[in-house]
């Protein structure tokens, strides 16, 4: 850009030299939202932008309050989804609070439950000092944002504006190398200032706890407002154009909290039909497609899901099938598309030659002869391949393209291959948890999606399981995790019993026991992506329920 230069200097050096410094975040959701606007215009004939999305859309907020937020921005994690039915955002500033409150700063300051109690009318809104009313009024007398901490330091901590700005720099550094040297002197000064100003001791300790939490991760209000705008936009699109929203997120991977498998399962549970990857119909990206004029759009999966398949290969396939109508057999495909063996093998492993009448095993066998197949005089065409079992078929799908459109593996295991001594009749599905009484033992079984142990959780470990109906949120105390960590860390499926915890519509299971496979039983692993071991530096939903 004219008049602008890009330099690779340290941000601290930039500030020391007196240059204006601003952080620019590269957010995958911005790409997804832009793509979604394009899809909505192309498929639905409606033109939308960030500036034209209707404000305060009640259907959108109703969806948010139910925590139906898989795939959206910022409020899609298990911790946020646990908080949404409790905080019940009903306007934009509620979203600002929601985005900011599930962070180590507010958590370590122990402000979440007091804020919820005040918001729900269970306790009055009070202020520890009248001088703090203008600072805390919008947040019901509770300090949540970094700016509030700075203003409190000036108002009742005897800080000058320059000292408060220095405090801001320290608590905004995200992981101070030397806490005692860099931040502790400022906290000692702040504590003494609040004592001199006769601030209530319990409030002073809460503020000091928040400062320490902010040193790990906390939000300025301006940051939370910006993020909330993107969060609201993504929720509006998911609410009103769900099929377009899902393909926009899927076509922007890798990004977000959920794997493509979890996103597709969520779309399916919301009534969106999924169409398989097809040699004859798929593009590189996922597309919307109508199977009949009066039917809603379905999602046609794209070649991008296939492990090991290059985008250039997908372009060759699309170009060749548009130019020729003769790709009716495996041999036609290999002859006309002229692909490398590994690319044909990737397509065969994903069972895409089902379109040409070849089983997965047959296509993989033929692909071994590429590129020599046209020169072979005698091709084994009638091998009696052993049929894949349902679970084997799903497992091979996961290995080839990270998901499966067949029956959910949890269903198959419960119906046909139950490998645990505890009776399968004891188990509930995720969608039924809302019907069960809290504080009762429940049995759960599902596919492991995410395992987390955030630094703010005091040794707690959190696991998200998925069955055919939804998610189980599991919480492990350090003691229980130490007992069963081998199973938790290594098994693709978990079979557990624990105490059901629920507040409003959010629920979790405090695990008591993890069941191992019966002797001699075996469940082949599903190949999953990095989401299965993601670590998130925020409080998880189970921790929120535990501390309540």
**What stretches in the chain show pLDDT beneath 70?**
104-105, 108-109, 172-182, 210, 213-218, 325-326, 371-382, 455-457, 504-505, 519-548
Closest by alpha carbon to 492, among 514, 453, 529, 523? 523
What's the confidence (pLDDT) of residue 526? 66
pLDDT by residue (tens digit) across 123-166? 999 888 888 899 999 999 888 888 888 888 899 889 999 888 88
In this predicted structure, what is the pLDDT of residue 61? Answer: 97
- Give yes or no for a contact between 183 and 171, defined as CB atoms under 8 angstroms apart: yes
Can you tell me which residue has the tokens 């979790």? 508
Q: What is the pLDDT of residues 248-294, one digit of tens each?
A: 999 999 888 888 999 999 999 999 999 999 999 999 999 999 988 88
Q: What are phi and psi of 207, to 5 degrees?
A: -65, -40
Alpha-carbon distance values, 342 to 42, 209, 318, 339, 348 (Å): 35, 56, 18, 8, 10
Nearest to 257 by CA among 401, 413, 391, 452: 452
Q: For residue 501, which of 428, 431, 430, 440 has the smallest C-alpha distance?
A: 440
- Confidence (pLDDT) at 380: 57
Which strands make up the sheet holding 287-289, listed edge to edge? Answer: 274-275, 298-300, 287-289
Q: How far apart are CA 146 and CA 363, in angstroms?
A: 59
**473, β-bridge pairs:** 464
pTM score of the predicted model? 0.85
The Cα 496–Cα 133 span in angstroms is 48
Q: What is the pLDDT of residue 285?
A: 97
Res 381: pLDDT: 58
Q: How many CA atoms lie within 13 A of 167 on its CB side?
A: 30
Task: Assign residue 48 a region (left: φ > 0; alpha: ψ between -120 and 50; beta: otherwise).
Answer: beta
Residue burial 445-482, b: 16+ Cβ < 10 Å; e: rest: bbbbbbbbbbebbeebbbbbbbbbbbbbbbbbbeebbe
Report the run of H or E that residue 467 belongs to, with start and end.
strand 461-467
Q: pLDDT value at position 546? A: 32
Cα-Cα-Cα-Cα dihedral sign, residues 385, 391, 393, 395? negative
Q: Which domains does the chain have, with CATH numbers?
A: 267-375 (1.10.150), 409-547 (2.40.50.140)
DSSP state letter for 539: -
For residue 171, give both structure tokens: 């608590």
CB 87 within 8 A of CB 94: yes
* Among 35, 57, 403, residue whose Cα is nearest residue 246: 35
pLDDT of res. 537: 30
- Provide the pLDDT for residue 510: 95
- Nearest-Å Rg of the Cα atoms of the chain is 27
460 half-sphere exposure, CB direction, 13 A CA radius? 24
Q: What is the pLDDT of residue 261?
A: 92
Supply the pLDDT for residue 535: 35
């Amino acid at each position: 850009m004219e008049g602008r230069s890009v330099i690779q200097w340290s941000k601290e050096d930039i500030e020391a030299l007196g240059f204006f410094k601003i952080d620019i975040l590269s957010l995958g959701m911005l790409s997804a939202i832009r793509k979604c606007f394009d899809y909505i215009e192309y498929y639905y004939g409606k033109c939308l932008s960030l500036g034209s999305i209707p404000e305060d859309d009640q259907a959108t907020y109703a969806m948010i309050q139910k925590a139906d937020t898989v795939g959206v921005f910022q409020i899609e994690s298990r911790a946020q989804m646990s908080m949404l039915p409790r905080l019940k955002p009903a306007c934009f500033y509620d979203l600002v609070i929601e985005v900011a409150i599930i962070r180590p700063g507010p958590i370590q300051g122990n402000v979440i439950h007091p804020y919820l109690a005040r918001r729900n009318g269970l306790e009055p809104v009070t202020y520890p000092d009248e001088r703090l009313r203008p600072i805390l009024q919008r947040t019901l007398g509770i300090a949540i944002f970094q700016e509030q901490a700075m203003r409190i330091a000036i108002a009742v901590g005897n800080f000058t504006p320059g000292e408060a700005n220095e405090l801001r720099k320290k608590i905004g550094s995200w992981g101070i190398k030397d806490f005692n040297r860099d931040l502790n002197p400022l906290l000692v000064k702040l504590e003494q200032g609040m004592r001199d100003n006769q601030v209530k001791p319990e409030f002073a300790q809460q503020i000091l706890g928040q400062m320490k939490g902010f040193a790990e991760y906390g939000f300025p209000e301006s940051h939370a407002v910006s993020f909330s705008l993107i969060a609201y936009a993504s929720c509006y699109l998911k609410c009103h154009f769900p099929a377009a929203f899902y393909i926009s997120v899927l076509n922007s991977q890798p990004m977000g909290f959920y794997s493509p498998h979890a996103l597709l399962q969520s779309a399916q549970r919301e009534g969106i039909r999924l169409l398989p990857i097809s040699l004859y119909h798929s593009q590189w990206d996922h597309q919307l497609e109508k199977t009949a004029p009066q039917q809603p759009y379905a999602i046609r999966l794209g070649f991008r899901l296939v492990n090991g398949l290059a985008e250039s290969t997908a372009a060759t396939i699309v170009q060749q099938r548009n130019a020729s109508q003769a790709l009716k057999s495996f041999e036609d495909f290999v002859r006309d598309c002229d692909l490398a063996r590994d690319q044909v093998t990737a397509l065969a492993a994903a069972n895409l030659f089902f379109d040409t009448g070849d089983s997965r095993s047959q296509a993989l066998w033929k692909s071994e002869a590429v590129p020599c197949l046209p020169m072979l005089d005698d091709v084994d065409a009638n091998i009696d391949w052993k049929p894949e079992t349902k679970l084997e078929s799903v497992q091979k799908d996961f290995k080839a393209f990270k998901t499966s459109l067949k029956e959910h593996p949890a269903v198959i295991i419960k119906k046909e291959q139950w490998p645990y001594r505890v009776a399968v009749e004891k188990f509930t599905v995720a969608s039924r948890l809302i019907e069960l009484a809290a504080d009762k033992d429940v049995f759960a079984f599902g596919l492991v999606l995410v395992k987390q142990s955030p630094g703010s959780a005091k040794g707690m470990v959190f696991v998200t399981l998925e069955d055919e109906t939804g998610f189980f949120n599991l919480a492990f105390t350090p003691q229980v995790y130490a007992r069963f960590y081998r199973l938790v860390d290594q098994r693709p499926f978990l079979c557990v019993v624990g105490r059901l915890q629920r507040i409003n519509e959010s629920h979790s299971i405090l695990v008591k026991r993890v069941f191992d496979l019966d002797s001699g039983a075996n469940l082949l692993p599903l190949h999953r992506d990095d989401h299965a071991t993601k670590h998130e530096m925020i409080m998880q939903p189970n921790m929120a329920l535990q501390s309540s």
